[in-house]
Chain A
Amino acid sequence: MSSRERVLGRVRRALADVPRDDAPVERGYLREHGARSVAENVELLAENLADYRALVHRANAEELPMLIMRLLAERGSQQVLVPPGLPPEWMAAADPVRIHDRAVSTPHELDKVESVVTGCALAIAETGTIVLDGGPDQGRRRITLVPDHHICVVRVPDQVVSSVPQALERLDPLRPLTWISGPSATSDIELDRVEGVHGPRTLEVILVTGHDGE
């Protein structure tokens, strides 16, 4: 007998006494917490991002390239990773050498890059979370992981949802998803919170208004 049959057989015998009702699970919880206007949702996102030590910036579509340029310059980044589908105008003012994430590039090569700029799939106001789904403006999972500095652009308000349930509704489970709430952090040493250890130690989120389609 294969282990598959053995385990499934054990499960079935273990459940012999159990009524196999098929009633749907009752869900008495809320779809979102509190009633907020669109603008209030964006404010809450900004507040919760900052509470988790992400650096929050705001810009309109015209100011965005200058802001990205300034943030990269402040870090002194010489090389910046960009996903293939990043709107080119975002980087129009930036000086650093643009590195594209090629399939052949090794993790070691990525490790030499100081910063990465991406978009996102959506952001969750109640938890201060940005979610990446590997879309063309976000790139592969590794590019937002290896460099120490991540600049993420969130189009507000249309990429902002209120809550976790609303986020799951909009996301595609077949894509690889990365939910990010603040920079990498650890509390393993006497519960002292330290930014790092492994992911980007600096997360900058730009809430941008007035982009295409508005």
Chain B
Amino acid sequence: MTALRPDLAIIAAKVPPGSRVLDIGCGDGALMAALRDRSGIDARGLEIDAANVAAAVARGLSVVQGDADADLGDYPDAAFDYAILSQTLQTARRPHIVLDHLVRIGTRAFVSFPNFAHWQVRASLLWGGRMPVTRLLPERWYDTPNIHHVTIDDFRAMVAERGITVEDAWFLSGDKRTRSAAANLFAEHAVFLLRR
């Protein structure tokens, strides 16, 4: 088994055994498979790409093809202990609605996203005058799936506005944890644990 992406590894370590989990934008099910292989985690997935869904189902996972923007309304309240949205918020058409659904469907929610305020991104735009193409944001402006560029400070402001509580947060630079002071400048990646 290949190592989990760093943000997924943080989430996987924090989900207690026996939990019910919905992974929204679960890709080919890497996180779900890791959760399943630990004791008694009932993981379900939602994924937009048919090939990813087929790959995940072929791994024996319960994954439904669907769109976070359109289909989260079909899930009942508090149906899961944890709802997970990793690297998907910035691709949603209406991220704030997706976030509301997340803390409605899950008692708690994990959200991870790339930080657009990272110093390299800032430097690229400031000095190069071009939209940044970095390791974590490898696509160019015209073919990126990221349609809502969000920073850690923006995210904190949005969850506060919506009355959502931040229980915990982790910040990453490369594969390494980074300090939370000045995370908006130094973290490439953020993982938040939220609840309604």
A, B assembled together:
no
